[in-house]
Structure 1
Amino acid sequence: MRVYDMIVDERRRAADLLAGLTVDQLRSPSLCAGWTMHDIAAHLVTFLRFGQAKLYLGIAATGADLDRVNVTLTRWYAKRSTDVLIDQLRRDALSRTTIPRSGYDPVLADIVLHDLDIRRPLGIPRILSEERLWVAYQHLAAKPSPGFALGGRLRGLRLVADDAGWDHGTGAAVRGNAEPLVLAMGGRISALDELTGDGVPVLRERLTSATKMRPAQRLGKVLGVLVSPPPPDRRSRDAVGLG
């Protein structure tokens, strides 16, 4: 399956998932620090609503503080009802907006992470496709786009998904099943309890004591991505290379 088709399917699944939650569940905390389940719905919609303009305007307005951009826009859109957000998520599920110079992979990675952010704390089961987890794993491990691991949280670590046979990087090992591994790579501290290896304390320290980069350093990293050549398969591709 092509990555774009996975994104469309995941947006529709997210809409169905959110539509099935109670008011109390929507107000409960997700695995994404500081966000409720309703906030995640708002965040997913801001990308559909603003697309690449969200990134470029955020760079200009905040000195490339993309966390601040996400928090501000999410807080603004979270004022809307969940029903309105779900409706827009379904209506714009076919959007082809990508991350500049990065293609579709980071879009899918973001949705996969947020699916897990919702389902895991609520105990809602789903067998997430290994193909989709691999796209998220490979993107986070190999070449994160702006907004993912800009502080180098995965530097010098070997990331091993024991159940899937994936292995990336060198150094102290962080290993476990693919779902918690991808969550930890994406900054979810609670997932570290399901992982093993000498690299787990290193990653935990990086996640818990992370400090914001200086504006000039942050801007340089983001611009370095934006001026790099786009991937040849930027629009979409088959998710090949598993294992």
Structure 2
Amino acid sequence: MENPTSRTGRNAELRAWIAAERRELADLLDTLRADQWDRPSLCAGWRVREVAAHMSLGFRLSLPATMGELARARGNLHRMTDRVARRDAAAHSTSELAAFLRDGALHPWTPPIGGFPAALGHDTVHGLDITVALGLDRRVPEDRLRLLLGEIRPSGLRFFGADISGVRLCAEDLDWSYGSGSPVYGAAQDLLLLAFGRRLPGGRLRGEASSRFTTA
């Protein structure tokens, strides 16, 4: 049985990492040009501004407001988050979108399933949706990245629509791999994106099956 003291300490560490991710991304967002906010992200159908708006949704909307939005979307979580992200991206300035993320750095929000590891994954992957799409060389710290790679499960792959059947993801910068089959090589944080159902710009992956996961 896990020691409660150990669990408390682990949660404190995770919350510190989550806060750091949010603050670091907010600082990066403050440096973007106006045209970069309107460029496509890796999150299909969303520009950078929609991703930024979505990232602060969990700590801007109360639970009753969230449930009301979900009811208007007839219970479809994806439809709800898409509509709210588009609405809020249009309603707020880019400086406000960055500030929401910074001001909510210590908010205890987590996704419905997965707790603090899932919250860290949510913030990290959406941050990469922005930085990779814009060609910015932001590296996720190794301790955060290792935890997220260790959280990859078949249930999560299914939820995010990630089809890595028949391939083995092999990190070139960490001692890590996942799956079985034809090897696909890349940076560990790029492979994390594959596990969340993203497709990457060309030239970031190697291996015979790498074209399955690229946009060009």
How does the TM-score come out when normalised to structure 1? Answer: 0.70
Q: Which one-letter code corresponds to 1:39 in the other structure?
A: E
Q: Aligned with 2:197: secondary structure? A: coil
**Superposed displacement of residue 16, structure 1:** 0.8
Q: Any stretches of 5+ residues in structure 2 without a counterpart? A: 1-9
State the distance in 2 between where 1:4 and 1:145 align.
24
**Superposed displacement of residue 89, structure 1:** 1.6
> What value does the CA root-mean-square deviation take over the aligned residues?
3.1
Q: Which one-letter code corresponds to 1:27 in the other structure?
A: D
Q: Which one-letter code corresponds to 2:49 in the other structure?
A: H
Q: Is the 8 A contact 1:141 1:154 kept in 2?
A: no
Q: Which one-letter code corresponds to 1:108 in the other structure?
A: L
Match of 1:50 in 2: 61
Match of 2:187 in 1: 177
- Residue 30 of structure 2 corresponds to residue 19 of structure 1: yes
Match of 1:135 in 2: 147
Q: Aligned with 1:113: secondary structure? A: helix
Seen in structure 2, the aligned counterparts of structure 1 residues 93 and 144 have a Cα distance that, compared at 3 Å, is same
Alignment of 1:180-191 (within 5 A): 180-191=190-201
- Residue 88 of structure 2 corresponds to residue 80 of structure 1: no
CA deviation string 1:174-220 (max 9, x = no partner): 3322122122222222246422335435556xx9xxxxxxxxxxxxx
Match of 1:233 in 2: none
State the distance in 2 between where 1:5 and 1:145 align.
26
Deviates more, 1:50-59 or 1:101-110: 50-59
Alignment of 1:65-214 (within 5 A): 65-78=76-89, 79-141=91-153, 143-144=155-156, 148-149=159-160, 151=161, 153-191=163-201, 193-200=203-210
Q: Any stretches of 5+ residues in structure 1 without a counterpart? A: 208-243
**Superposed displacement of residue 38, structure 1:** 1.4
Query: What percentage of residue pairs aligned between the two structures are identical?
Result: 33
1:41 to 42, 52, 58: 52
State the distance in 2 between where 1:58 and 1:169 align.
37
State how many pairs are aligned: 204
Q: Is the 8 A contact 1:174 1:198 kept in 2?
A: yes
Q: Which one-letter code corresponds to 2:84 in the other structure?
A: L
Q: Which one-letter code corresponds to 1:194 in the other structure?
A: R
Q: Which one-letter code corresponds to 2:40 in the other structure?
A: P
How does the TM-score come out when normalised to structure 2? Answer: 0.77
Deviates more, 1:94-103 or 1:48-57: 48-57
Higher relative contact order (Cα pairs below 8 Å, separated by 6+ residues)? 1
Q: Which one-letter code corresponds to 1:10 in the other structure?
A: E
Q: Is the 8 A contact 1:109 1:139 kept in 2?
A: no
**Superposed displacement of residue 7, structure 1:** 0.5
State the distance in 1 between where 2:205 and 2:157 align.
24
- Residue 17 of structure 2 corresponds to residue 6 of structure 1: yes
Q: Which one-letter code corresponds to 1:9 in the other structure?
A: A
Q: Is the 8 A contact 1:160 1:173 kept in 2?
A: yes
Where has structure 1 moved over 4 Å in runs of 4 or more? 51-64, 201-204
State the distance in 1 between where 2:157 and 2:134 align.
29
Deviates more, 1:155-164 or 1:178-187: 155-164
